[in-house]
Structure formats: structure tokens, C-alpha cells
């Protein structure tokens, strides 16, 4: 059915389509639905405490017997200066926001993700079949996952990063092009040097490593899937495309912004979390970037706006939400996941047949 079976055989799935983890937007329903449709559903667990993570895994397992993926951020991302505080302009801006919305004092920076080791313990104990990492993969963590039979995926944004991940023992590399939404997976160089487009990145990674390569970034439909396979990828990871599925945990204002946004309405910014990530422009991003001041390190920058984001969610205010989205956002469609999966699979097969007969 598919010309390259390396990824499907590795992961035990029918179709080489991975729904990106997207922490904060994914839930057990969407994960299980994608897996039941023959792809690989994924849950972004970086900010999920261990007890809640175990319950989430159980909820997924109740809904599917097929393979699924749980994603964690690399352990090193939890380390930051707990004494870091916003600069004067950022502090003044945050104070003004809190006054505007009646939120009280601006919170001091605090941990938001992990603890990685405890999260990984849960995934191993619950025998999660696929575990993926973002911001690099530690050899010891890969070995722990492998010891209990899990397959390991990790994102790379350069050829050198892909080689490093292969040496660390990952089973497949996700080649994350610069078009992708959400946090850049860059872990070895300055992110601006690693903003390589998917079309340029994927074939170079394919030539550099022996493990299967998964294309990611700007892939929204059958055309992107077939193009990725032509570049040598064994499969694709799609994030923004799945945000249009009704099962996603996407607030109304975010969904509305997704429906009206074009590629140029997204940008890569550190304003939200302190790490580069592609999101739809909004009031918070534009005003914080305009301060022209050194921001807090990740995740402290993310942490100080946590009350503001919670308030925005309660008010359904897109101006202060973290509306992650890739450059393919203009192609998004709102439909149930079963319908979406069926259409992209059938369209991909049709397009492959047309190209093969031409």
C-alpha cells in the first residue's frame, strides 16, 4: 500500500502518519482515534505531572489497543535559574496586564514541566509502546525506554542533530523543518541557523542516517505526504493539520484564529516561553517583543505568564493564548479525525498511483 514500509513496520502501524504530540492540545480521545485509524496518535506530556500522566495513559489504553506515542521534553530543559526575574520593562508590562484583568501579583518563575525521570518511569511501567523526546535525547533515557521494549523517536532540526540522535540510539528521527508549529526541537546550535525548510532538510537527513526519517513541518494533506515520501522520508508527522480536528482540545478563540490565519500570520518567537516556537501572532507576542529587552530563560518566561494564559483561556481571549501553528495553517480543515485520516490516506494512495502511472 505504501512504497516505504520501514516506519510502519518499526512502529506496528498501518499508515506512516504520526499526529504530532502538541502539549496542551492533545487528549486521550484524539490520540486513540488516530491510532485506531491506523496512524500513530501522540500525547504531549511535558507539562503533565506523573500521577495525571499515568491516568492519561490508562485513558488512552481504554480507547485503543493499537500503538500510541507519549512525548516528553528532554530532562535538561527543566534546569533554570530559580532566582531569575523579569527585566524592568517586562515586569512593568506584566504588571499592567495583571491590573487590566484583575489578576493580582505577577507570579515568580517556577517549574512547569517534568519531573522527567518520574514521567519516564510512568511510561516504562505502563509499557507505552512509543516514546518521543523533544530538545534532544539522552542516551541513558533511550536505553531505559529500549530496555522495556519501547521504540524511541526524537526531533532534529539539522543534519548534525540527526546524526547525534542516531548515535544516541533513537529508532527514528523526526526531521523538523522550519515551517513547523510549536517549539523548535533545536538542541545543538542557535535556532536561527537551524531554520532549514522541510524540503531541504529531509533529503539531507535521509542521506546522513540509517534509521527511518519522519518529515515534519508544513505537511497538511496528501500532497505534503507524497512529497515527503518522494524526498526519502519513511513517514510524516503532522501537527497543525490535526488542530482542525474537532476532537482536539482547542479553545474557540484559538480555533477561530486557526481558521482565519495565513502562513505570514505565524512567527517564531521566544516571547511566550523563552525558547523559539512558531505561533500565530497576537497581542502578547507583539507587545512583549516590542519591549526590546532580554527575556527570561525557558521555562521561566513561560512561567511568569501562567496566570495571564489561564485568564485568557477562561475569557476565550486569543490575545494572550499560546496559539501554536505552522506555516501550513492556511490549509487547515475542521472535521472529525476519522474523516480527516480517511481522506488523507485515500488521497495519498490516489496521488501515488497517478504519479506512478505518469
Range of the domain at 45: 6-80+112-258+327-350
- Does residue 311 lie in a domain region? no
How much is the pLDDT for 79?
85
290 vs 173: CA distance, rounded Å: 36
Which CATH number goes with the domain that contains 128?
Answer: 3.20.20.70
User: Considering its fold, how many domains does the chain have in total?
Assistant: 1
- Does residue 310 lie in a domain region? no
- Does residue 270 lie in a domain region? no
- Compute, in degrees rounded to 10, the torsion defined by CA atoms 301, 132, 69, 225: 100
How much is the pLDDT for 107?
93
Residue spans of the chain under pLDDT 50: none
- Which tens digit of pLDDT belongs to each residue from 139-157? 999 999 999 999 999 999 9
How much is the pLDDT for 357?
64
- Does residue 23 lie in a domain region? yes
- Does residue 104 lie in a domain region? no
Cell of 127: 509499557
- Does residue 10 lie in a domain region? yes
Burial (CB < 10 A; 0-12, 13-18, 19+), residue 305, is buried
- Does residue 150 lie in a domain region? yes
Question: Measured in whole angstroms, how far is the alpha carbon of residue 204 from the centre of its chain?
Answer: 22
249 vs 84: CA distance, rounded Å: 32
The residues, any chain, with a CB within 8 Å of residue 79's CB and separated by 6 or more, are: none
- Does residue 278 lie in a domain region? no
How much is the pLDDT for 111?
86
Average pLDDT, the chain: 96
What phi, psi does 87 have (nearest 5°)? -65, 170
- Which tens digit of pLDDT belongs to each residue from 220-262? 999 999 999 999 999 999 999 999 999 999 999 999 999 999 9
Specify whether the CB–CB gap between 11 and 4 falls below 8 A. no
281 vs 268: CA distance, rounded Å: 9
Cell of 132: 518521543
Amino acid at each position: 500500500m505504501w512504497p516505504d514500509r520501514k516506519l510502519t513496520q518499526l512502529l506496528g502501524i498501518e499508515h506512516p502518519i504520526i499526529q504530532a504530540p502538541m502539549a496542551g492540545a492533545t487528549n486521550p480521545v484524539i490520540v486513540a482515534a488516530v491510532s485506531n485509524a491506523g496512524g500513530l496518535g501522540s500525547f504531549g506530556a511535558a507539562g503533565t505531572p506523573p500521577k495525571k500522566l499515568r491516568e492519561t495513559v490508562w485513558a488512552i489504553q481504554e480507547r485503543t489497543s493499537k500503538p500510541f506515542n507519549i512525548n516528553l521534553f528532554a530532562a535538561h530543559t527543566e534546569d533554570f535559574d530559580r532566582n531569575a526575574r523579569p527585566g524592568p520593562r517586562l515586569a512593568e508590562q506584566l504588571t499592567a496586564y495583571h491590573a487590566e484583568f484583575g489578576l493580582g501579583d505577577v507570579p515568580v518563575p517556577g517549574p512547569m514541566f517534568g519531573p522527567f525521570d518520574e514521567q519516564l518511569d510512568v511510561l516504562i511501567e505502563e509499557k507505552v509502546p512509543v516514546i518521543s523526546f523533544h530538545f534532544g535525547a539522552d542516551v541513558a533515557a533511550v536505553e531505559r525506554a529500549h530496555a522495556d521494549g519501547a521504540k524511541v523517536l526524537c526531533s532534529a532540526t539539522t543534519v548534525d542533530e540527526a546524526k547525534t540522535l542516531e548515535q544516541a540510539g533513537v529508532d527514528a528521527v523526526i526531521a523538523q523543518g522550519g515551517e513547523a508549529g510549536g517549539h523548535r526541537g533545536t538542541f545543538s546550535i542557535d535556532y536561527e541557523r537551524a531554520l532549514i525548510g522541510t524540503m531541504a532538510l529531509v533529503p539531507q537527513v535521509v542521506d546522513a542516517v540509517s534509521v527511518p526519517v519522519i518529515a515534519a513541518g508544513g505537511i497538511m494533506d496528501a500532497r505534503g505526504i507524497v512529497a515527503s515520501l518522494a524526498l526519502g522520508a519513511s513517514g510524516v508527522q503532522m501537527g497543525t493539520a490535526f488542530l482542525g480536528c474537532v476532537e482536539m482540545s482547542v479553545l474557540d478563540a484559538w480555533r477561530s484564529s486557526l481558521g482565519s490565519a495565513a502562513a505570514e500570520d505565524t512567527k517564531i518567537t521566544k516571547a511566550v516561553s523563552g525558547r523559539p516556537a512558531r505561533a500565530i501572532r497576537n497581542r502578547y507576542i507583539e507587545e512583549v517583543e516590542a519591549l526590546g529587552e532580554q527575556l527570561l530563560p525557558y521555562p521561566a518566561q513561560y512561567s511568569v505568564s501562567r496566570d495571564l494564559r489561564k485568564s485568557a483561556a477562561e475569557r476565550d481571549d486569543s490575545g494572550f493564548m499560546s496559539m501554536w501553528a505552522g506555516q501550513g495553517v492556511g490549509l487547515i480543515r475542521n472535521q472529525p479525525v476519522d474523516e480527516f485520516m480517511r481522506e488523507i490516506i485515500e488521497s495519498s494512495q490516489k496521488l501515488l498511483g497517478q504519479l506512478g502511472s505518469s
